[in-house]
């Protein structure tokens, strides 16, 4: 397992195609991003497969609030880069210890999230339809 290089984002540095970004400030610290923003870290991956793997690891760490214990700051919380690297390294070791299971579970998780989104859309449509039936008779 080779860990990618993790740095603070700077607009002066050229973005490469295999770069992955993660929020470094706010309550969504560690959330993986495809596009850069001023408050993020850059994870320099060597290839597309490594990028997708670390995107999954970051997403899992973010969803399980693994970065929350390392938040600093009273107004806008942030994470120090060394703490971020520590969490990413720890989660990567756990994921790579049984990578096949991690990958299968993560794919199942993504499928369930898509299903959850579709159900939420259906519920919203049902709410709107109920409102239409009620409003049609009142107005």
The whole domain housing 79 covers 1-97
pLDDT higher than threshold 90 for residue 103: no
9 and 61 housed in the same domain: yes
15 and 68 housed in the same domain: yes
19 and 69 housed in the same domain: yes
Domain count, the chain: 2
47 and 105 housed in the same domain: no
Q: Give per-residue pLDDT as tens, 63-79.
A: 999 999 999 988 999 99
Q: What is the largest CA-CA distance in the chain?
A: 65
108 and 83 housed in the same domain: no
115 and 83 housed in the same domain: no
76 and 65 housed in the same domain: yes
63 and 120 housed in the same domain: no
pLDDT band, residue 1 (cuts 50/70/90): low
Pick from 62, 7, 1: which is nearest to 29 by CA? 62
pLDDT of residue 74: 84
Average pLDDT (93-103) is: 90
Q: CA of 102: how far to CAs of 11, 47, 62, 94, 126, in Å?
A: 34, 20, 15, 9, 36
73 and 84 housed in the same domain: yes
93 and 122 housed in the same domain: no
93 and 132 housed in the same domain: no
Distance CA 62, CA 23 (A): 10
| Strand residue runs (E) in the chain | 5-8, 19-23, 32-33, 40-44
């Amino acid at each position: 397992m080779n860990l990618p290089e993790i740095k603070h984002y700077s607009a002066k540095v050229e973005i490469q195609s295999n770069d992955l970004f993660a929020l470094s400030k706010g309550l969504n610290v560690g959330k993986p991003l495809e596009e850069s923003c001023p408050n993020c870290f850059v994870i320099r991956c060597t290839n597309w497969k490594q990028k997708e793997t670390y995107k999954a690891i970051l997403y899992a760490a973010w969803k399980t609030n693994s970065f929350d214990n390392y938040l600093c700051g009273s107004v806008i919380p942030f994470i120090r880069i060394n703490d971020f690297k520590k969490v990413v390294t720890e989660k990567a070791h756990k994921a790579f210890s049984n990578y096949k299971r991690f990958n299968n579970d993560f794919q199942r998780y993504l499928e369930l999230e898509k299903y959850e989104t579709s159900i939420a859309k259906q519920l919203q449509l049902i709410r709107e339809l109920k409102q239409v039936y009620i409003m049609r008779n009142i107005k």
